[in-house]
Every structure is written in C-alpha cells, then in structure tokens.
C-alpha cells in the first residue's frame, strides 16, 4: 500500500513537472531591465537599458515578458516598437520619471510610446511626467503651441491588448493618447494631476474601435476622458472623474476628413467638482461630420457645472465664426438615470446646430438639483426636440427654442 502511495505521488509530481515544462516551452525567458544596465537610481539615464530589453523580447519567437523591477528610472522618450514575433508582456513594478524640462523633448514627441504591437499586456507601473514646469508654458490661447508638449503614454496601432493597474502622474500634456487602436482594454487605471494643469486630458481616444475603459480614477486639468473622430464601439464604465472637465465626445468638426463617431457607451460613472459633466461638443463653421449612437447611463453628478451638455457652438478661445452653424450631425443620443447636484443653475443644456439640428435625443429619469440662492435648476434647448420619459428635473424643454 505504501509503495502504491509513493508511486502515485511520484507520478503526480512528474505530471506537474511536465505541465510546467509545457508552459516554459511556450514562453521565452524574462527580460529584466536591470540585467541590461538600468540603474533605477532616479538620476541615471535608463533609456538604453529598457529599450534593449524590449527589443530582445520583441524578437523572441515565443511569448515573452519584459520586467522593470522596483526603483526609480529616469528616462527620456522611450519607444516600445513593434511588430513583435509573439505576444509580449511588460511588467513594471517601479516608477518611470520623465525629465522635468520640456526642452528635453523634440516637438510633438510623446514620452512613452507603444507602437504597432499586437498582443500586448502592460501590467503595473507608475509614469511620472513631472509636468509642473511645462504647465506654466502651456497657454494655447496665446501661443497656439500646446500640442508641442509630450504626452505621457501613447498607444498607436495597438491591437488585441490589455493595459492594467497603471498610474499616470503629472503629464505635461495628455496623460494617455489611444490612436488607431483596435480591441484594447484598460483596467484599473489611475490618473492624477492638479486642476491647474492645462490641457492634460486623462484619456484621449481617436480613430479606434473596440476600446474598453473600466475602473479608472481620474483627476486632472482637462477632460477626464475625451473621444475624438473615428471612435467606434467604445465602452467607458466605472470611471470616477474630478477635478477636470468631465467626459466628452469631441470636440468634433475642426479638421478636414474627420471620421464618424458611433457606438459610444458611458455608464456607471461618478463625476465630481468638474467644469462639465457628460458633454458632446462640436465647432461652429465646422467640416461635415457625424456623431450617433451615444449612450450615457447611470451617471452620478456631484457639484458639477452643467451636468448634461450638447454644445454645437464650442469655441474655447473665441476665435471662431460662431454665427456659422456646425455641420456635424448628432443623432441617437440617450441620457438615462442621471442624478446628483449641479454647481450652476443651468443643469441641462442642449444647444444643437441650426444648420443640422440634433435628431432622436432622449432623456429618461434625470434628477439634477441646484442649491444656489438664485432659484432652482433650469434647462435650455435649441434646435432639438428631445424625447422625454420618466421623472425629469429640471423640466426639460420638449419643444426647441431658437
């Protein structure tokens, strides 16, 4: 009996060894940034070491992992360039720090770039853009050069990928820019910058399909999440936003050949102490465009200025032909179960284009309270005839006004 037990135990161990061997056989060795010379002392330039680890992992014929252990890594612009031979993971336990001086970057550079990678996993890591010096130089209204500053994290042509448990601090410009991506999920993202940080959108998405953002905590000086042209089938869920400018579709219509925006879902989010709540914005005198199938569901507003806003006369610096109507067509928009408090008396504003009025805009179960001394919450509508159901406060205009 004892021999039989020993034989079974040995057999079980052999099976485990064989199974582990199969796993190891299907994955290349880990590529540790420190083994490539990274100092992680917060002062030495660790660019070359990290990029070298990535390049070797990228050409590995089997699934591989780049490891960046605990420590502070000072790095300038880093590009994680694909395509790679197999799926690749980058596991970051440390903090990457950007040079504080924006002059260290070439114009239009992003700081950390993932380019043309399929099957990418990014796990963990803190990305500190050290943006305070740059913010003082970032006056778009006067200089028109805000886009010359580096974005913390750029994802370009990334497909079938997962990015989770990352933190972006004090970016000089946008924290994250997602462009020309497909089937990418961002889980448990933290973004943190002061309200005074200009043009530091938390997550900007453009010309991408199948992007999912869930469980994000975003504090910044501009939109928490913004969606540019070409966004399709984007899901934003369980985001806490504030301070910042809210969650925005747009701005749209500023540039030629913009692509349609459709299939956007924002749900189960909380927005607190922001300049706007949920917003769709297009420029006057715009190019022809389209935004449709936009759903905003179960959103809590806490002391938010204009919690519900469609603004087709968006002109932040007053340098527009405001009298010329927007040519971006907005249709099939639903606001459902939006509740909380408005920081301004104007809680709902639907300002659509007189040239291309909004179509099929629906509001259901809206309850937004204003506690100011000059009256209760109100709504304004122009060039739209919204469909109204459920309990609505403030009362929303059922017939458009001009």
Between CA 59 and CA 63, with CA 62 as vertex, the angle to 5 degrees is: 95
Residues in the chain: 402
The DSSP secondary-structure symbol of 229 reads: T
Tell me if residue 93 is catalytic.
no
CA distance 70 to 96: 10
* Catalytic option among 201, 222, 229, 311: 222
Q: How far apart are CA 54 and CA 96, in angstroms?
A: 15
Evaluate whether 243 touches 273 at the Cβ level (below 8 Å).
yes
Q: What are phi and psi of 340, to 5 degrees?
A: 135, -150
Residue 380's alpha-carbon distances to 140, 141, 306, in angstroms, are 30, 28, 11
Greatest alpha-carbon span in the chain: 93
Strand partners, 291: 261, 330
**How many alpha carbons lie under 13 Å from residue 215 in its C-beta half-sphere?**
9
Nearest to 360 by CA among 313, 402, 310, 395: 310
Structure tokens at 171: 């970016």
Q: Give the span between the Cα atoms of 21 and 207, in whole angstroms.
A: 42
Determine how β-strand 126-128 pairs with β-strand 159-164: unpaired
8 A C-beta contact, residue 200 and residue 171: yes
Sequence-distant (≥ 6) Cβ neighbours of residue 20 within 8 angstroms: none
Give CA separation, 364 vs 297, 333, 339, 394, in Å: 9, 11, 11, 12
Count Cβ atoms below 10 Å from residue 207 Cβ, excluding itself.
Answer: 17
Alpha carbon distances (Å) from 152 to 106, 128, 192: 14, 8, 12
Under 8 Å between Cβ of 203 and 191 = yes
Query: What is the chain's alpha carbon radius of gyration, rounded to the nearest angstrom?
Result: 24
Q: Which of 46, 192, 201, 245 is catalytic?
A: 245
Identify the DSSP state of 5: H
Whether 222 is a known active-site residue: answer yes
- Which residue numbers are catalytic? 222, 245
């Amino acid at each position: 009996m004892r021999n039989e037990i020993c034989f079974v135990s040995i057999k079980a161990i052999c099976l485990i060894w064989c199974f582990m061997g199969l796993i190891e056989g299907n994955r290349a060795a880990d590529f540790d940034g420190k083994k490539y010379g990274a100092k992680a002392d917060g002062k030495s330039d660790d660019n070359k070491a990290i990029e070298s680890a990535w390049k070797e992992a990228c050409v590995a014929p089997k699934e591989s992992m780049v490891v960046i252990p605990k420590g502070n890594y000072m790095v300038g612009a880093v590009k994680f360039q694909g395509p790679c031979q197999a799926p690749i993971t980058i596991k970051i336990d440390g903090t990457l720090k950007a040079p504080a001086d924006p002059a260290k970057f070439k114009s239009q550079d992003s700081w950390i770039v993932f380019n043309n990678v399929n099957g990418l996993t990014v796990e963990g890591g803190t990305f500190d853009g050290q943006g305070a010096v740059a913010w003082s130089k970032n006056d778009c209204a006067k200089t028109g050069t805000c886009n010359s500053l580096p974005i913390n994290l750029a994802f370009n042509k990334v497909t079938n990928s997962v990015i989770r448990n990352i933190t972006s601090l004090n970016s000089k410009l946008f924290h994250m820019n997602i462009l020309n991506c497909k089937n990418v999920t961002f889980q448990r993202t933290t973004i943190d910058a002061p309200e005074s940080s200009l043009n530091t959108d938390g997550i900007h998405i453009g010309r991408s399909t199948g992007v999912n953002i869930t469980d994000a905590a975003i504090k910044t000086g501009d939109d928490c999440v913004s969606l540019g042209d070409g966004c399709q089938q984007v899901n934003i869920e369980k985001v806490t936003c504030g301070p910042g400018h809210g969650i925005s579709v747009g701005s749209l219509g500023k540039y030629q050949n913009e692509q349609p925006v459709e299939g956007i879902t924002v749900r189960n989010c909380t927005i607190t102490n922001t300049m706007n709540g949920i917003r769709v914005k297009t420029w006057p005198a715009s190019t022809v465009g389209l935004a449709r199938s936009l759903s905003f569901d179960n959103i809590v507003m806490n002391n938010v200025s204009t919690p519900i806003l469609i603004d087709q006369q968006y002109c932040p610096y007053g340098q527009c032909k405001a009298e010329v109507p927007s040519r971006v067509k907005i249709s099939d928009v639903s606001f459902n179960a939006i509740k909380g408090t408005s920081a301004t008396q104007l809680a709902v504003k639907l300002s659509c284009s007189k040239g291309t009025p909004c179509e099929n805009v629906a509001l259901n179960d809206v309850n937004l309270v204003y506690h100011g001394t000059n009256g209760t919450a109100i709504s304004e509508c122009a060039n739209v005839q919204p469909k109204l159901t459920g309990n609505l406060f403030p009362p929303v205009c059922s017939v458009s006004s001009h």
